[in-house]
A and B are shown apart, each in its own frame.
Chain A
Amino acid sequence: MYGNDFSAPDDAPGGGLLGEVEAAEAALREAAARARRGGPAPDEDLEAYFADVIDADQKIEPRDWMPEAYRKTLIRQIAQHAHSEIIGMQPEGNWISRAPSLKRKAILLAKVQDEAGHGLYLYAAAETLGISRDELVELLISGRQKYSSIFNYPTLTWADVGAIGWLVDGAAIVNQVPLCRCSYGPYARAMIRVCKEESFHQRQGYEILHTLAHGTPGQKAMAQDAIDRWWYPSLAMFGPPDGDSTHSAQSMAWKIKRFSNDDLRQRFVDMCVQQAEILGLRIPDPDLRWNDERQGYDYTQPDYDELLQVIKGNGPCNRQRMEHRRRAHADGAWVREAAAAYAAKRAEKNKEKVAA
């Protein structure tokens, strides 16, 4: 367990979301244990074989046959996910030099380092589908692939770092835990790794807000302001409502996605209400109410027109984020070339040594 645990007793490791990650990991091993040995029979239809593997809740592996559309949709989803981890380092990185204590600064550094690691795991998973990381980086930089809309919002105060941990990473986990059971093996395995670490991020964010909410009135107001600004963008992270989601039906049939956008959003809201109560902070939704019939909270939907605008590139920080990423890539070109030249020189020298 990382740091102080403020969550309810039933949310301790072994239960709650972390418990689900562990269950998914166990299921992965079980699936491997009952997998049919060998690939398709020589006369077996590849499509039927693929469907068979998916139906049996088995994993598709890189060298298995898969429909071209399955490959494409996975590349799109995993790459976007990887890009989000990389761009997501910017809003938080904005506060590294200004973190209020050495401890908070060290934690934030560790967290941003994790995000870089998540980006790399995910790029590696995408690469198993037959695309290179260089190509993916090019697709991001040229704006042909997207990253999560949430990272186009600015971090205006220290409390935003807490709100990102609690709400943004919280929404990410709710979204990602089911992906631990995704039908594509490398993605499922990467998600298990990511979720375990993401759980640290969510808790550290919650702790920041808890500390602020129990500090001076000024600190509490800062925490409330951060939640007020991050709540709806976090709800929008789950994507458009089910009726407007273009990829959902096929992704669910292929067991890439296991729950609909709206189901996950509902789950997130239900979790947050109780957590906000313990923080002593208010979720900025006057229409938030328990619905006894549905056994869930009624809540106000985020502004999907705004989401669309942000995805199109018109959010508050889209240009800044992309410019920063492009500049880092361009300015780093000579360093990459130097490293490659040095590696080539050393390889040459080793060859001479062997020959001599």
Chain B
Amino acid sequence: MSERSERTGKAGAREHSPLWEVFVRARRGLAHTHVGSLHAPDAELALRNARDLYTRRQEGVSIWVVPAGAITASSPDEKDAFFDPAADKVYRHPTFYEVPDGVAHL
């Protein structure tokens, strides 16, 4: 239903009917959101199945399907090393900067 464990990534390749990840855009103006996954022999059938499976109740206006094998995910083990640089660069946020009293439109 979301990121695969590493084991399934491998199992998926052998199958008849590979795994696809499904992204749906709920309305105009919103981003596509991952909603789940499904098996289908090819992209067209994946799209049709996704239509039936994930948009039965007007949940979306646009669907993307991506072969699960085409997705590379970050690993939780390297989370700290991978995402930490963000923590010590607080100056990337506008809130880091002090605005002198009385300045307007800033």
- Give the B-binding residues of A (Cβ under 8 A): 37-39, 41-42, 61-64, 110, 113-114, 117, 120-121, 124-125, 127-135, 185-187, 189-190, 197, 336-337, 339-340, 342-343, 346-347
Contact = CB atoms under 8 A, between A and B. Distances in A.
17 contacts: A38-B84, A62-B4, A63-B4, A63-B5, A63-B75, A121-B36, A124-B36, A124-B37, A128-B1, A129-B5, A130-B5, A130-B7, A130-B11, A132-B12, A135-B11, A339-B17, A343-B45
A258 B42 CA distance: 40
Interface of A is mostly: helix
Contact of B2 (A117, A130, A186): A186
Interface residues of B, number: 33
Contacts of B62: none
Nearest to A185: B2
A48 B45 CA distance: 44
B76 A37 contact: no
Nearest to A193: B36
B89 interface: no
B77 A120 contact: no
B3 A128 contact: yes
Contacts of A128: 1-5, 8
A64 B76 contact: yes
A63 B53 CA distance: 25
Interface string B55-84: 011000000000000000101110110011
Nearest to B82: A38
B15 A134 contact: yes
Interface string B79-98: 11001100000000000000
A337 B17 CA distance: 9
Interface in B1-55: 1-8, 11-12, 15-17, 19, 36-39, 41-42, 45, 52-53
Contacts of A339: 17, 41-42, 45
A124 B38 contact: yes
A121 B79 contact: no
A340 B40 CA distance: 9
A197 B73 CA distance: 31
A342 B41 contact: yes
Given A38-B83, A120-B38, A128-B8, A340 B16 contact: yes
Contacts of B39: 133
Contacts of A132: 8, 11-12, 15
B1 A39 contact: no
Contacts of B52: 113, 117
B53 A117 contact: yes
